[in-house]
């Protein structure tokens, strides 16, 4: 997963995500909880679209991802943008980080991709252990409402001159998971032909009350929940929410 996608990821995600707003929101949340914070770990950093701008506004950022291809793109981008980010290949569910940070973040549904609750609890514990005193963990999720009511059994498509995709969504009520079957068509750099490749992604639908309890269980002192990129409380029809967990 994500290996072939790495080469077209930015073209896709930049259509839907306001990274400037996201980085500004993260910066505000961090400063509100821990004004002295400097060192950030981003889990599931992808191609560096959050890590790089955070480093450019003064944070010392380490970006971690399981995909070497994503990290390769991120490394090239950070070099071109004169941004200093440390890139690390690793899986937060199994790796013991051995470093301490002021902040950990996991953006754009990273947590939804951890579909096993035991693995998620392990990831939360590893992140907790990687944080310094008064450290903060910020992440967002696709809500149960979005995965079950908005995405389920629907199809989406995207068409541009160089890239097209067809995205079919299926919801498994027994396991509370959404499966995304995505067919990509990418125009060749050397001809008018298109290369096709397929990706299958699975996300777990977690309610934020359960995640709050899991975070408290591993040691976090308090957890706040917001509508994504806002300061308002979420509702039953919120499609995306952010959680802010603070270590004592």
27-53 confidence digits (pLDDT tens): 999 999 999 999 999 999 999 999 999
- The CATH architecture of the domain made up of 5-143+205-246 is 3-Layer(aba) Sandwich (3.40)
Q: Mean pLDDT across the chain, nearest whole number? A: 92
Q: What pTM value is reported for the model?
A: 0.92
Q: Where are the domains of the chain?
A: 5-143+205-246, 145-204
* pLDDT at site 97: 81
Residue 91 has pLDDT above 90, yes or no: yes
* pLDDT at residue 6 greater than cutoff 90: no
User: Class assignment of domain 145-204?
Assistant: mainly beta
User: DSSP 3-state assignment of 72?
Assistant: helix
Q: Is 88 exposed, middle or buried (0-12, 13-18, 19+ CB in 10 A)?
A: middle
The whole-number pLDDT of residue 225 equals 98
Whether 24 has a pLDDT exceeding 70, the answer reads: yes
- Taking 70 as the threshold, does the pLDDT of residue 56 lie above it? yes
Q: What is the DSSP code (8-state) at residue 146?
A: I
| C-beta contacts of 63-66 below 8 A and 24+ residues apart | 63/87, 63/88, 64/88, 64/89, 64/90, 64/92, 65/89, 65/90, 66/2, 66/90, 66/91
Across the range 235-246, mean pLDDT stands at 98
């Amino acid at each position: 997963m994500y290996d072939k996608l790495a080469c077209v990821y930015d073209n896709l995600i930049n259509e839907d995500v306001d990274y400037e707003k996201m980085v500004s929101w993260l910066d505000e949340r961090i400063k509100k909880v821990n004004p002295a914070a400097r060192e950030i770990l981003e889990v599931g950093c992808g191609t560096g679209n959050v890590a790089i701008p955070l480093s450019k506004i003064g944070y010392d950022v380490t970006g971690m991802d399981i995909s070497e291809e994503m990290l390769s793109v991120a490394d090239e981008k950070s070099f071109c943008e004169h941004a200093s980010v440390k890139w690390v290949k690793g899986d937060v569910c199994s790796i013991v980080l051995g470093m301490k940070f002021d902040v950990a973040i996991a953006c754009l549904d990273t947590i939804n991709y951890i579909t096993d609750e035991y693995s998620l609890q392990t990831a939360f514990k590893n992140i907790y252990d990687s944080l310094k005193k008064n450290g903060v963990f910020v992440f967002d999720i696709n809500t149960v409402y979005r995965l079950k009511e908005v995405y389920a059994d629907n199809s989406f498509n995207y068409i541009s001159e160089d890239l097209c995709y067809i995205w079919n969504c299926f919801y498994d009520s027994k396991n509370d998971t959404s499966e995304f079957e995505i067919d990509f068509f990418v125009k060749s750099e050397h001809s008018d032909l298109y290369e096709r490749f397929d990706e299958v992604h699975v996300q777990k639908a977690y309610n934020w009350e359960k995640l709050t309890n899991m975070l408290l269980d591993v040691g976090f002192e308090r957890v706040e929940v917001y509508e994504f990129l806002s300061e308002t409380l979420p509702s039953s029809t919120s499609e995306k929410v952010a959680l802010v967990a603070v270590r004592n």
